[in-house]
Structure 1
Amino acid sequence: MSNVGNNIKKLRKVKGMSQQAFGDIFNLTRGNISSYEEMRAEPKIEIVLKIANYFGIPVQHLIEKNLSVNEILNFNDYFEPNVSIIGRKRLLQIPLLERDAIFEASTHFSKLDELPIIEFPLQSRNRLIAIEYADPIPVPSDFLASPQSILFFEEVDVQSLHTLDNAFGLYFSEEEFFIGKYSLQEKEISLALNVWKKIDFTLGEKAYFWKLYAKFERI
């Protein structure tokens, strides 16, 4: 039996799509998608070709492999696991908040361990989170990123507070989600989206504050 059904389910979830929305793209019903995912039926080869072409995934991989989040996002070709200078030991597993789920951030903040995982050659002593960038995310006017970039944020700790001044950061709580710029004045730290929106940093809420650690953009 092929792995198409499992991969369709994973594609749909990574892209934040319902069975109905996924089916609509390929002129299929919700019932068709459900039957594929539950292994009660297999799509015809022409449907498999359409899905593979639409998401830019090799047909053989869609049929035979258990696709990873990296492969679904088309980033896997940048990091071959057999390349010695990277090596699997240096690939860090990082929770990924996809652009389709960004504005359900309040439901994800307390469930970071349940998010899809992306593997990247990054090292940090602190917790990291990856964000698939999208235009609707509130950002300062001088923040530059292209759609589908992956932004990596490192959780702020006491030892890194002196590095925050003028750095971009993320505020991520149950109620709010935005990218801003840190300002450090004497012993007061704030993260500002703009002149009207600013949140002061407090140690009691430090889990909500993250610093931009890296940015990955496809060329």
Structure 2
Amino acid sequence: MMAMLGVVPPGAHAAPDEIQVYTEEMDDPGAFGLELHVNYVPDGKREPSYPGEMLSNHRLQVTPEFSYGVTKSLEAGLYLPVAMSGDGELYANGLRLRLKYIAPRAEDAHFFWGMNVELGYSSHRVSESAMALELRPIIGYRDERWLLSFNPILDTDLSTNVSRKSNFEPALKVTHSVIPGIRAGFEYYGEYGPIDRLLPAPGLTHTLYGVMDVDLNGLDVNFGIGHGLQNAEDQWIAKAIIAFPFK
């Protein structure tokens, strides 16, 4: 996410290691999957928000995500985030576990809904809170031409040294089929503050990505270029997600 001139509201974050809007896509029961999340910040945060924070400027993040289809409606996942700082040092930054549920639906149904629950440990380099919990509802629509998915995320720090109020961080994805195998559109990520006292409009954080989703003979690639519209800490971000399905 990208910093605009002016005051950044408390709780604004630099680009996370996973920049993704969740949809109804799942591993088949008994199947393993691997997604490689890669993002790079060519113009980002240069001053730390707390002692020991890794600055996002010129930071490269690579996060393998291993997944497994438990049932048709339930998928488990494990993230292992790694980052290279602007000075070339390599760091492991924790781990996260998740469970994703997508409600059963008819084969020809276009609407979908579900929930992703994620519990994670982060190093002090990337978060003041060592433990965090994310609740991510998934609400969407997909047909041959359009995909729309909305994630009204609640993100809660669990460590005792920080606020434990849940923050509202909505994410939205809209894409349209360009040619067979290629969709183009946008992804939006916001930071709206504590759920019990949302920030006023001037204090909200908005980041917008232009994205493409490409199917390369079963290898799915999501690519995007992001820019902050308001109050974000990073000016520009390039991100990619490469999905390798396994049977």
Q: What TM-score does the superposition give when structure 1 sets the normalisation length?
A: 0.25
TM-score by length of 2: 0.23
**Which structure's residues are more often strand, by fraction?**
2
**Higher alpha-carbon Rg:** 1
